[in-house]
Amino acid sequence: MELRRDYLFMMLCFMILLMRGEGQLSENFYASTCPNVEMIVRQAVLTKISQTFVTVPGTLRLFFHDCFIEGCDASIMIQSPNNDAEKDAKDNLSLAGDGFDTVVKAKQAVEAICPGVVSCADVLAIAARDVVALTGGPTFNVELGRQDGLISQASRVKGNLPEPDFNLASLTSLFSKHNLNQVDLVALSGAHTVGFSHCDRFANRLYSFSPSSQVDPSLDPAYAKQLMDSCPKNVDPTIAINMDPQTPRLFDNVYYQNLVAGKGLFTSDDELFKDPATKAVVVDFANNPFNFNRAFATAMIKLGRTGVKTGNGGEIRRDCSSFNVKNAT
């Protein structure tokens, strides 16, 4: 009787591991079915970067937005004839088309060699790693074996992505849902070193911060003026500026040096330096690029385990923009 209970407990643990999916990810998942997949994706990413640098922040942000909603399952790639898929949600409308195009081109290149084998989710994960490594950031081994999700709904996006006015408590709560701690949060925020933003995402810090001060006093005055010159009141909503005013085309630790200097673009950026809980990490990353690179790589691997689909929970799409199965939503 005791032996049977032990056996049932072991089987239960095994089934839970299978349902979670994380246990099935491995760095050599395609060793026998598509051994050159990473080289194929890397070449497609290189080609795309040579055409436009927007590829870098666009692809990286696409990976974040995908993983934070339904998990890392390429549900962000789905196109709906009714404009009600994830990518159609208000918070995703600013995602750069070059990020989507990078995944599409890389997937097409993979399909030409290994048809029906590699998921769009894995292609996106590899591409996100590559855009970082190819612009001066760390490289790391990507865990593979994800399937593509069967759900993509705009209604499921709201509340699942970080907002530019979030305080540390809100950011910590959101990241913790994906098993990411505060060090991971600070490290992943470093992606802003190659990002860009539309003016309306931070205009409140320049023109309507508080009754006593139109400009956020935590902003460096010279930086605030620079922002106002680039983003005057009633500016064209399509205008975007670099989040890192110093080295916007390098994936480096200057983002953290900017935070220390009062040059964090968003309130959520500024919070990382102002709050005692994360200030020491920001200062460490500002002074030690090696520590930042290591922490960023670790956080990306952890993020890539979020909501992994396996078995009947997913599929391998031939076309990243549409489901294979008829009952997907």
* pLDDT tens column, 35-84: 999 999 999 999 999 999 999 999 999 999 999 999 999 999 999 999 99
Mean pLDDT, the chain, as a whole number? 92
Helix or strand (DSSP H, E) at 123? helix 120-133
Catalytic residue among 42, 48, 61, 65: 65
Residues 227-266 have pLDDT tens digits of: 999 999 989 988 999 999 999 999 999 999 999 999 999 9
- To the query of whether residue 65 is one of the catalytic residues in this protein, the response is yes
How far apart CA 313 and CA 179 sit, in angstroms, is: 21
Residues 12-41 have pLDDT tens digits of: 444 444 444 444 899 999 999 999 999 999
Residues 291-317 have pLDDT tens digits of: 999 999 999 999 999 999 988 889 999
Tell me if 2 is assigned to a ligand binding site.
Answer: no
- Grouping H, G, I as helix, E, B as strand and the rest as coil, residue 101 is helix
In one-letter notation, the amino acid at residue 236 is: D
Indicate if the pLDDT at residue 326 is higher than 80: no
* pLDDT at residue number 312: 83
3-state secondary structure 147-179: EECCCCCHHHCCCCCCCCCCCHHHHHHHHHCCC
CB neighbourhood size of 85 (10 A): 23
Tell me if 193 is assigned to a ligand binding site.
Answer: yes
Residues 123-150 have pLDDT tens digits of: 999 999 999 999 999 999 999 999 999 9
Tell me if 135 is assigned to a ligand binding site.
Answer: no
Helix or strand (DSSP H, E) at 61? helix 55-69
How far apart CA 254 and CA 11 sit, in angstroms, is: 49
What is the residue-wise DSSP string for 32-56?
A: TT-TTHHHHHHHHHHHHHHH-TTHH
Residues 134 and 57: beta-carbon distance below 8 Å? no
How far apart CA 13 and CA 24 sit, in angstroms, is: 14
Residues 112-123 have pLDDT tens digits of: 999 999 999 999
Indicate if the pLDDT at residue 4 is higher than 90: no
* pLDDT at residue number 5: 53
* pLDDT at residue number 311: 82
How far apart CA 99 and CA 83 sit, in angstroms, is: 19
* pLDDT at residue number 314: 95
Average pLDDT over residues 220-233: 96
* pLDDT at residue number 325: 73
Q: Residues near 148 by Cβ (< 8 Å), separated by ≥ 6?
A: 73, 74, 75, 119, 120, 121, 309, 314, 315, 316, 317, 320
What is the residue-wise DSSP string for 248-302?
A: TTS-SSHHHHHHHTT--SSHHHHHHHHSHHHHHHHHHHHH-HHHHHHHHHHHHHH
Average pLDDT over residues 206-211: 93
Tell me if 71 is assigned to a ligand binding site.
Answer: yes
Share of the chain above pLDDT 70, in %: 92
